[in-house]
Amino acid sequence: MTFEGLNLIEPILKALKTEGYTEPTPIQAQSIPIVLEHHDLLGCAQTGTGKTAAFAIPILQLLNADPLPERGPRPIRALILTPTRELAIQIGESFQAYGRHTNLRAQVIFGGVSQKSQTDALRNGVDILIATPGRLIDLINQKYVHLKSLKMFVLDEADRMLDMGFIHDVRRVITQLPTKRQTLFFSATMPPEIQKLADTILKDPIKVAVTPVASTAEIIDQSVYFVEKKDKKALLIDMLNDRAIRSALVFARTKHGANKIVKDLVGAGIPAEAIHGNKSQNARQAALQGFKTGRLRVLVATDIAARGIDIDALSHVFNYELPNIPETYVHRIGRTGRAGASGVAISFCDSEERPYLRDIQKLIGKNIPVVTLHPYHSEGEVVHAAVAQKSKSQQTGQKRYRDEPSRSNTGFSPNGASRQSKNRFRSTTRSTTNTSSGKR
């Protein structure tokens, strides 16, 4: 499959060439024709599958062919609603990139920054608006945003909207939209409330799914370390002292926890920064930028702050604390192994977190390999004494972190060195299903 085979117009093909995209990802190959034929779409796909281009490319193509009104400023004809500013910025950049040879204008709006530049742009006319829910509602209320001419609506990461408590705002936005429109709905998971929302806002949608929700990419090398809470700090420091870990995103459950990890790491001479909701927008952007450019090797994040982090070079994800919602595990480790590259996901699990691990393994349908050969291994309280004995003897020898000595792709191998080209997607390892194309 090629982009040419998808009947895309020359200005878009040219832009994709500049981006270095040689072939569509599975979600793109399936979604683009559906959207170009004006159908509603229900896309089950998570970030990292190329879903942004799956909606951005056909939106650009359809709007490019859609005549503008003869008088007045350009009306907003496409709205993309997404949960976080980071995602909004990335989607905005994607529209800029793929639409660079069209005359279409895309604008991003999100909260936490002055609205002045956003409202200036809106006054000049915008074809495609990419927004987070709160700021969008503010600007609708202030009459800067008019949606009566809207033709296409994208709800991005619907399940995250629910997790983050935005579902009420999303419903409010939907009441503002013309009923005659094309709607594209994307969600990595389909909990009942999201399914209900999809049922109410989509008309005869065609469903496209890449990778079953619960699966975790096979190219991500997952492992779990049983370690008591008090030893997690020392284990993380030991592991991050391995320079083969080029870039690590460390997940904490709370903002306080994230700050504490940063303090511990910095205290041990490992530069690290935290991103979470208490940090200013500027501080978050600076940390993220530092991480993207490689200046900063270790970033510590809470789940909400990490949404939408799009870093192709991310080699390691650490779950310092396991999430209590199993889907969050899938989202977290999906930050690595992006765009066809390999990645390593390491989880620390203390005795209280064992039930979370069980839930995660149930969801992903497999057991995560346990690494026992490390100095802080703990089987839990019952066998604690025996393990303490074992750990002591291990500490005397050379530190080993794997239970499979011959395995080369360890959490400590210079994984990044073998990273594949950005254009190699997981189409060979991931299952792609078009569950209801028969409905077309």
Residue of minimal CB distance from ligand AMP? 52
Work out how close the CB of 377 gets to ligand AMP at its nearest, in angstroms, rounded to a whole number.
Answer: 36
105 with 99: CB under 8 angstroms?
A: no
Closest to ligand AMP by CB, 89 vs 239, is: 89
Which residues does 13 contact at the CB level (< 8 Å), separation at least 6? 3, 4
CB neighbourhood size of 404 (10 A): 12
Single-letter residue type at 415: N
User: What is the per-residue DSSP string for 100-153?
Assistant: TTS---EEEE-SSS-SHHHHHHHHH--SEEEE-HHHHHHHHHTTS---TT--EE
Work out how close the CB of 312 gets to ligand AMP at its nearest, in angstroms, rounded to a whole number.
Answer: 6
Work out how close the CB of 306 gets to ligand AMP at its nearest, in angstroms, rounded to a whole number.
Answer: 13
List, in sequence order, every residue forming a beta bridge with 183; answer none if it has no partner: 153
Which DSSP symbol is given to 352?
G
Euclidean distance between the first and the last CA atom of the chain, given in angstroms as a whole number: 21
**Separation CA 92–CA 127 (nearest Å):** 12
Work out how close the CB of 26 gets to ligand AMP at its nearest, in angstroms, rounded to a whole number.
Answer: 10
Which residues does 339 contact at the CB level (< 8 Å), separation at least 6? 48, 50, 312, 422, 423, 424, 425
31 with 58: CB under 8 angstroms?
A: yes
241 with 359: CB under 8 angstroms?
A: no
Work out how close the CB of 353 gets to ligand AMP at its nearest, in angstroms, rounded to a whole number.
Answer: 29
Work out how close the CB of 425 gets to ligand AMP at its nearest, in angstroms, rounded to a whole number.
Answer: 7
Closest to ligand AMP by CB, 80 vs 272, is: 80
Q: Which residues of 180-197 are buried (b: 16+ CB within 10 A; e: fewer)?
A: ebbbbbbbbbbeeebeeb
Closest to ligand AMP by CB, 86 vs 321, is: 86
Closest to ligand AMP by CB, 219 vs 357, is: 219
Work out how close the CB of 193 gets to ligand AMP at its nearest, in angstroms, rounded to a whole number.
Answer: 23
Look at the alpha carbons of 3, 41, 35, 333 in this order and tell me if their dihedral is positive or negative.
Answer: negative
**Separation CA 324–CA 384 (nearest Å):** 24
Which spans of this chain sit near ligand AMP (rule: CB under 6 A)? Answer: 21, 24-25, 28, 47-53, 310, 312, 338-339, 422-423
- Record the tokens describing residue 177, joined without a space: 């939209």
* Three-state DSSP state, 80: strand
* Three-state DSSP state, 300: strand
Work out how close the CB of 264 gets to ligand AMP at its nearest, in angstroms, rounded to a whole number.
Answer: 31
Work out how close the CB of 430 gets to ligand AMP at its nearest, in angstroms, rounded to a whole number.
Answer: 13
- Record the tokens describing residue 351, joined without a space: 């005795």
348: Cα separation from own chain's centroid = 21
Work out how close the CB of 156 gets to ligand AMP at its nearest, in angstroms, rounded to a whole number.
Answer: 9
Closest to ligand AMP by CB, 15 vs 346, is: 15
